[in-house]
């Protein structure tokens, strides 16, 4: 990596960039007061503690302590260097840096990952060309068009065709300088040990590219033209492709998910594409695996509401319930778009059309509890008293998982009305169920008592005073100069606070105006950046009164005097042990003077 970005160019990029817009590409933000809040992308949480300040152009997580300016955010979320973060934002803003950075040259692991992505991107274009523009791909193109795939959909999803030749991909990639061992690691080719030869993993299949959240092509799924087993063949897990972290179509659907405030989750990518053809542009799907906690966190950072649209068979219903519970526990509102028995979304759309799918399935989705109630009814004769009692008991046990008493009452009233039961009797039974559940339930992390020694202690007055002074100093060069003068050479008691103050004095002496994002970029280490961002988020007055500042400074200076008194007391005791009573008396007078000055 060569070249250095001039400081004035860094500042130009900062001025042209809005941190809220950048963070919003990764985190669903909602405005609360002057700041925006969302779920922290750097640690798992269900309650938003991640704050972004458009005024200060910084972010801070009150949960894990992450914080900094827009460059720091990109560095942490994408694992890039400072120079690469500046370069990326400069490109977005149309600012020419005149120096380019490529960290791959000095990081072999990163270079290997990027080469794998380059190979996949090249193959995506190669397969797409074969499908759309060659006789070799005509059979596959006919196959797709018979199944309702339009030219626009084929283009949008970059669907392609892998020829039946055993080494077409291997040959074309080797000609472009991709080594064999890298292609094997990337899952593109397979080694046949008995022949000591390599051949393409995908042959004679319709090819569907799979992308990571950033839009990079990282894998493929190949569909057999003849329904020969396996019907779908997926790339293996590699350094760039982990099923538990990838959601099909997420990179394309994310803006729509945020705009609509909801995601539609399907079991497979074929259903997701069919739904897209039917006008569902906020659809995503898992990649041949169950929903994972990583998937839930990715979804939750972008929306609060998820509509599940799984297959209508018994396996699909069980999967919908499991996924719904995971999403609910992850903090999402969950609805279920139920399909008729035996149909999947693709089949339903083919049989009844896009409009009916949108209106009768997606828009007519049920809450998770309502969907479970529907499942509890299946196979039961509710005219039979015993089966009716079992159904009501099952529903009430399920209602015990609801946090909202209002929501519980809605469903209890439904039961009371449907079966002509006393609402009071149902409520009493509900209370019994919930008491029993609480007795048998282990304490959740949020309910586990915290040992006294681990409880967060209140910080002393001088500590808080130092933080509040720094918060004001970050906003005003005049206040910083005033604080420096009144401290008269005395340091803050917390070394990190003093380091921030020293950097801030230098910052202002170099002619800079208050600019928090600029200042953060100049701090020497990550710890100071996080602490400064945290302090900057403290709620302080725009223009503090003189007395307020004087009180803070007095608290800081008094603490220094108290430390001096303790030091003198130790010296006095030492003088007495040495029988130097004259010195002990002099020290006692010094202590007296210090106490008077407090």
Q: Strand 305-309's sheet: what is its strand order?
A: 283-285, 262-266, 305-309, 333-336, 366-367
DSSP annotation of 211: E
Q: Which of 134-148, 151-165, 434-448, 524-538 has the lowest mean pLDDT?
A: 434-448
E runs forming strands in 391-477 = none
Report the pLDDT value the prediction gives residue 453, as an integer from 0 to 100: 38
Other beta carbons within 10 Å of 461: 15
E runs forming strands in 276-360 = 283-285, 305-309, 333-336
When pLDDT is averaged across residues 440-462 and rounded to a whole number, the result is: 52
Between CA 129 and CA 131 the distance in angstroms is 5
Q: Is the dihedral of CA 251, 252, 253, 256 positive or negative?
A: positive
- Percent of the chain that is helix, strand, coil (3-state, to 5): 55, 10, 35
Q: Which of 246-260, 335-349, 550-564 has the lowest mean pLDDT?
A: 550-564
Look at residue 59 and give its three-state secondary structure.
strand
Between CA 78 and CA 113 the distance in angstroms is 14
User: How would residue 442 be classed by pLDDT, with cut points 50, 70 and 90?
Assistant: low
593 pLDDT exceeds 90?
no
pLDDT digits (tens, 9 = 90+) for 300-318: 988 989 999 999 999 999 9
pLDDT digits (tens, 9 = 90+) for 151-181: 999 999 999 999 999 999 999 999 999 999 9
Report the pLDDT value the prediction gives residue 334, as an integer from 0 to 100: 96
Report the pLDDT value the prediction gives residue 449, as an integer from 0 to 100: 40
Portion of the chain with pLDDT greater than 70, in percent:
94
Report the pLDDT value the prediction gives residue 522, as an integer from 0 to 100: 87
Q: Strand 50-53's sheet: what is its strand order?
A: 30-32, 35-38, 50-53, 58-61, 67-68
Mean per-residue pLDDT over the chain, rounded = 88
Q: What are the beta bridge partners of residue 198?
A: 191
Q: What are the beta bridge partners of residue 60?
A: 51, 67
Report the pLDDT value the prediction gives residue 1, as an integer from 0 to 100: 40
21 pLDDT exceeds 90?
yes
pLDDT digits (tens, 9 = 90+) for 116-131: 999 999 999 999 999 9
Catalogue all structural domains in the chain, each as residue range(s) with its CATH number: 7-93 (3.90.580.10), 108-234 (3.90.980.10), 250-375 (3.40.1360.10), 379-438 (no CATH), 461-594 (1.10.860.10)
195 pLDDT exceeds 80?
no
Which residues touch 396 (CB under 8 Å, ≥6 apart)? 412, 415, 426, 429, 430, 433
When pLDDT is averaged across residues 40-47 and rounded to a whole number, the result is: 83
When pLDDT is averaged across residues 404-425 and rounded to a whole number, the result is: 90
458 pLDDT exceeds 70?
no
Report the pLDDT value the prediction gives residue 598, as an integer from 0 to 100: 62
When pLDDT is averaged across residues 352-371 and rounded to a whole number, the result is: 95
Q: How far apart are the first and last CA of the chain?
A: 56
The answer to whether 290 and 321 are in contact (CB under 8 A) is no
DSSP annotation of 248: B
Which residue has 């009430």 as its token pair? 396
36 pLDDT exceeds 60?
yes
Q: Identify whether 230 is preceded by a cis peptide bond (ω within 30 of 0).
A: yes
């Amino acid at each position: 990596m060569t070249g250095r970005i001039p400081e004035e160019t860094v500042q130009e990029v900062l001025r042209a960039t809005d941190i809220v817009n950048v963070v919003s590409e990764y985190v669903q933000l909602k405005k609360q007061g002057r700041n925006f809040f969302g779920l922290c992308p750097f640690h798992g949480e269900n309650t938003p503690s991640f704050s972004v300040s458009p005024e200060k152009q910084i972010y801070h997580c009150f949960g894990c302590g992450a914080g900094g300016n827009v460059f720091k955010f990109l560095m942490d979320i994408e694992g890039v260097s400072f120079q690469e973060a500046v370069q990326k934002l400069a490109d977005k803003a149309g600012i020419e840096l005149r120096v380019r950075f490529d960290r791959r040259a000095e990081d072999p692991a990163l270079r290997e990952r990027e080469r794998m992505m380059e190979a996949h991107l090249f193959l995506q274009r190669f397969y797409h060309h074969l499908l759309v523009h060659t006789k070799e791909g005509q059979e596959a193109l006919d196959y797709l068009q018979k199944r309702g795939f339009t030219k626009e959909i084929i283009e949008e999803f970059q669907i392609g065709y892998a020829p039946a030749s055993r080494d077409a991909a291997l040959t074309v990639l080797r000609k472009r300088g991709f080594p064999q061992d890298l292609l094997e690691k990337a899952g593109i080719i397979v080694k046949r040990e008995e022949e000591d030869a390599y051949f393409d993993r995908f042959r004679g299949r319709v090819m569907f590219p799979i992308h990571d959240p950033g839009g990079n092509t990282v894998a493929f799924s190949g569909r057999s033209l003849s329904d020969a087993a396996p019907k779908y063949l997926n790339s293996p897990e590699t350094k760039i492709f982990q099923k538990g972290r990838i959601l099909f179509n997420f990179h394309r659907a994310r803006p729509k998910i945020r705009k609509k405030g909801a995601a539609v989750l399907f079991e497979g990518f074929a259903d997701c594409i069919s739904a897209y053809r039917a006008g569902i542009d906020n659809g995503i799907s898992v990649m041949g695996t169950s929903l994972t906690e990583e998937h839930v966190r990715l979804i939750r950072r972008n929306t609060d509401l998820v509509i599940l649209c799984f297959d209508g068979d018994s396996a699909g219903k069980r999967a919908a319930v499991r996924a719904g519970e995971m999403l609910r526990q992850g903090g999402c509102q969950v609805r279920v778009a139920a399909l008729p028995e035996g149909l999947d979304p693709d089949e339903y759309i083919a049989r009844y059309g896009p409009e009916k799918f949108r209106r009768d399935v997606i828009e007519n989705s049920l809450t998770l509890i309502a969907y479970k109630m529907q499942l509890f009814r299946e196979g039961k004769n509710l005219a039979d008293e015993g089966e009716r009692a079992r159904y009501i008991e099952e529903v009430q046990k399920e209602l015990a998982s609801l946090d909202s008493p209002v929501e519980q009452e809605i469903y209890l009233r439904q039961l009371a009305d449907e079966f002509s039961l006393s609402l009071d009797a149902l409520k009493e039974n509900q209370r019994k169920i919930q008491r029993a559940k609480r007795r048998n339930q282990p304490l959740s992390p949020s309910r586990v008592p915290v040992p006294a020694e681990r409880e967060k202690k209140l910080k002393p007055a001088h500590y808080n005073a130092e933080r509040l002074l720094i918060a004001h100093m970050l906003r005003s060069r005049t206040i910083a100069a005033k604080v420096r003068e009144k401290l008269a050479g005395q340091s803050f008691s917390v070394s990190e606070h003093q380091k921030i103050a020293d950097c801030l004095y230098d910052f202002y002496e170099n002619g800079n105006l208050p600019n928090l994002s600029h200042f953060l970029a100049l701090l020497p280490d990550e710890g100071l950046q996080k602490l400064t961002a945290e302090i900057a988020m403290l709620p302080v007055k725009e223009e503090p009164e003189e007395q307020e500042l004087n009180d803070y400074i007095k608290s800081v200076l008094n603490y220094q005097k108290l430390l001096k008194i303790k030091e003198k007391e130790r010296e006095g005791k030492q003088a007495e042990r040495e029988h130097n009573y004259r010195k002990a008396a002099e020290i006692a007078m010094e202590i007296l003077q210090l106490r008077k000055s407090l």
